[in-house]
Amino acid sequence: MASLVPCPHCGQRPKEEFTIKGAALTRPAADADASDWFDYVYLRDNPRGAYQEYWHHTSGCRRWLVLTRDTLTHEVAASRDAADGSRSEARP
């Protein structure tokens, strides 16, 4: 059985409709030094537990989402529209 991802626009959808694009990290300031940018671009922690990631609903509403996913169990705790985090949040 396919895993389901809660889309705040389309409801529960199969994960195959989505493309994972990467970690939802805070960008350094534009005037940050080169070492801060190097860390942001190339170095990543590999945490256990809840982690926020950008996902694109490529076969659905084509919206960018931020999913909170457990890196151990792959369970999705919540999702929200990346453009406006306070607008709507979907939970499984």
- DSSP character at residue 48: S
| pLDDT tens for the chain, residues 1 to 92 | 358 999 999 999 999 999 999 888 888 999 999 999 999 999 888 889 999 999 999 999 999 999 999 999 989 999 999 997 544 455 55
In a domain, 34, yes or no: no
Supply 9's token pair. Answer: 């626009």
Does any domain span residue 31? no
CATH number at residue 65: 3.30.2270.10
Number of structural domains found in the chain? 1
pTM of the complete model: 0.78
CB 67 within 8 A of CB 56: no
- How many of the other CB atoms lie within 10 Å of CB of 65? 26
Residue 82 domain-assigned? Answer: yes
Backbone dihedral region for residue 49 (phi beyond 0: left; psi -120 to 50: alpha; all else: beta): left
